[in-house]
């Protein structure tokens, strides 16, 4: 029979307890006086729903300590007023979808501290059978300090996050329309994708739009190619000899119009993003080290050409200004990854005590169930952080990098395999980001040769220890 999976509350509060002690604590929590230390005496609990919400306050604060409120704004304001009348200073609520967002904003306006709790920390707790009991149970747990608040960046960062997430969705939708263009051309046996690496580029779009205007001569269409395209004009002309079909041409026209629409929306997001980024203050890290002088070739590496999906303004300079560090100095981390980190977390990572807590919050560390000091199973994370996903993609780009990080990733991949190596390398990148944003230590790449030399010395030391344990002496080959 499978063992019961412990919740966060059980792992934090029930450790070092046997079964009888756990039952005793559960009974104490269920009683009127659990005998625990009161951390938040003015606490309330909210069970958040889509249509209505249940709110519980201590029994001595109101004749009706549990009330139901509607989800409309006027009722939420009435609820906040009632909480103030009940002298409530802090409220705990579960992060249920996005329904809690309006709650938090209204409560923060009334200067009530809000604890947004991950439902995984309370889902296996005893004693909850209805919405009324749910809000009372949250209130009781919060009163005794048994709930952890979720991390949430400040308001100005949340504005940037909203626009950046919307822009990422639009880029994904634009990418789907490009795939549909390729599919429509292939159905007409127009093999343009075999000669051009990207039909959304200048050459591909010029040819497709000429086709939609009625041009069918493949040699005329081939002359529209950009001079930088490797395929010859004759090769492109032969790939454009297709079977033209009115229904598929109509489909292609619709897809191109959708692509243009998404491109327009992306440009609008860029304008809005530039405005919110400009409103962010400059950041200086105490004890920040000056970036060391790099060779001219190294500097040019970070001044990449204007990418197709990159915003229309100088986002790299804005990131250095608002974060107080150049994250692009870390090999594998580009402008997109840096913007993802800023929009999701902000530049201030002081909410995380150290880099290990930061990596754990990103779910980039192994999750294990441990009993009696022994690991009984590894638990897979149910969800993935956006920042963690970006760091995983950054780690995968290091496979051919001639840098210290590239050599480290290749070593991990050979020892752990692909998926584990990507996660381990993403964790190391997260630690480097944390050091840059909290301690201001400039990152200097020492090259793949330095890493290989370090690894060689470690292997030699391990062989020497093994030889001593076997009563032997390790002698270099040149000394024979």
Of residues 77, 134, 67, the one with CA closest to residue 102: 77
| DSSP one-letter code for 56 | E
Distance CA 59, CA 251 (A): 65
CB 327 within 8 A of CB 319: yes
User: Residue 426: which pLDDT band, with cuts at 50, 70 and 90?
Assistant: very high
- 28 pLDDT higher than 60: no
Beta-strand relationship, 113-117 and 368-371: unpaired
Write down the mean pLDDT value for the chain: 81
| pLDDT one-digit tens code per residue, 124-137 | 555 555 556 788 88
Q: Where are the domains of the chain?
A: 8-143, 156-279, 307-445
* pLDDT tens digits, one per residue of 368-386: 766 666 766 766 666 678 9
Pairwise pLDDT comparison (377 vs 198), residue with the higher score: 198
For 385-411, the pLDDT digits (tens) are: 899 999 999 999 988 888 888 888 888
165: CB partners within 8 A, 6+ apart: 343, 386
CA dist 241 and 192 (Å) reads 10
Residue showing tokens 């970036």: 291
CATH of 8-143, one of 1.10.287, 3.40.50, 1.10.1220, 3.30.420: 3.30.420
Q: pLDDT tens, 207-216?
A: 999 999 998 9
Q: Tell me: pLDDT of 416 over 90.
A: no
Give the pLDDT confidence of 263-293 residue by residue, as tens digits.
999 999 999 999 999 999 888 765 555 555 5
Q: Give yes or no for a contact between 124 and 7, defined as CB atoms under 8 angstroms apart.
A: yes
Report yes or no: 363 and 384 within 8 Å, Cβ to Cβ. Answer: yes
> What is the structure's pLDDT at 103?
78
Mean pLDDT: which of 100-104, 236-240, 253-257, 398-402 is highest? 253-257
Give the integer Cα–Cα distance in Å for 428 and 18: 37
What would the two tokens of residue 478 be? 């040149």
Examine the pLDDT at 20 and tell me if it is beyond 90: no
How many residues does the structure list for the chain? 480
56, 44 in Cβ contact below 8 A?
A: yes
Cα distance between residue 339 and residue 299, in whole Å: 20
Would you give the end-to-end CA distance of the chain in angstroms? 61
Tokens of 241: 């000899």
Cβ atoms 145, 92 nearer than 8 A: no
Buried b (16+ CB within 10 A) or exposed e, 346-371: bbebeebeebeebbbbbbbbeeeeee
């Amino acid at each position: 029979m499978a063992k019961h999976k412990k919740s966060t509350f059980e792992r934090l509060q029930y450790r070092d307890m046997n079964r009888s002690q756990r039952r005793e604590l559960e009974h104490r929590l269920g009683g009127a006086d659990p005998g625990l230390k009161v951390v938040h005496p003015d606490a309330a609990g909210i069970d958040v729903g889509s249509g209505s919400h249940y709110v519980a306050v201590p029994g001595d604060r109101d004749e009706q300590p549990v009330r139901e409120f509607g989800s409309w704004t006027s009722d939420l304001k009435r609820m906040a007023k009632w909480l103030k009348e009940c002298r409530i200073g802090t409220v705990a609520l579960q992060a249920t979808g996005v329904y809690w967002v309006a709650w938090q904003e209204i409560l923060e306006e009334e200067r009530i501290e809000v604890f947004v709790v991950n439902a995984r920390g309370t889902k296996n707790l005893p004693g909850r059978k209805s919405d009324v009991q749910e809000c009372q149970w949250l209130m009781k747990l919060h009163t005794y300090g048994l709930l952890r608040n979720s991390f949430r960046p400040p308001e100005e960062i949340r504005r940037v996050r909203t626009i950046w997430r919307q822009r990422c969705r639009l880029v994904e939708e634009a990418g789907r329309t490009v795939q549909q263009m390729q599919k429509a051309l292939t159905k007409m046996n127009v093999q343009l994708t075999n000669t051009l690496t990207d039909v959304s580029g200048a050459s591909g779009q010029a040819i497709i739009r000429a086709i939609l205007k009625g041009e069918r001569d493949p040699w005329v269409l081939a002359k529209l190619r950009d001079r930088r395209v490797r395929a010859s004009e004759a090769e492109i002309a032969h790939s454009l000899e297709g079977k033209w079909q009115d229904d598929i041409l109509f489909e292609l026209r619709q897809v191109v119009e959708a692509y243009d629409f998404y491109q327009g929306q992306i440009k609008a997001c860029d304008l809005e993003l530039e405005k919110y980024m400009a409103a962010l203050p400059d950041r200086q890290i105490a004890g920040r080290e000056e970036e060391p002088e790099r060779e001219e070739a190294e500097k040019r590496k970070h001044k990449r050409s204007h990418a197709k999906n990159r915003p229309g303004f100088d986002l790299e300079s804005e990131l250095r200004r608002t974060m107080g560090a150049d994250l692009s100095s870390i090999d594998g981390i580009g402008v997109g990854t840096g913007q993802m980190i800023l929009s999701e977390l902000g530049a201030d990572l002081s909410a995380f005590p150290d880099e290990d807590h930061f990596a754990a919050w990103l779910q980039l560390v192994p999750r294990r169930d441990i009993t009696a000091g022994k690991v009984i199973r590894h638990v897979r994370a149910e969800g993935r952080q956006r920042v963690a996903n970006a760091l995983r993609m950054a780690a995968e780009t290091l496979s051919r990098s001639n840098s210290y990080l590239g050599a480290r990733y290749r070593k991990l991949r050979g020892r752990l395999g692909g998926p584990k190596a990507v996660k381990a390398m993403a964790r190391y990148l997260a630690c480097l980001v944390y050091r840059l944003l909290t301690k201001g230590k400039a990152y200097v790449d020492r090259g793949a040769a330095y890493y290989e030399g370090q690894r060689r010395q470690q292997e030699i030391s391990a062989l020497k220890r093994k030889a001593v344990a076997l009563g032997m002496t390790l002698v270099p080959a040149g000394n024979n």
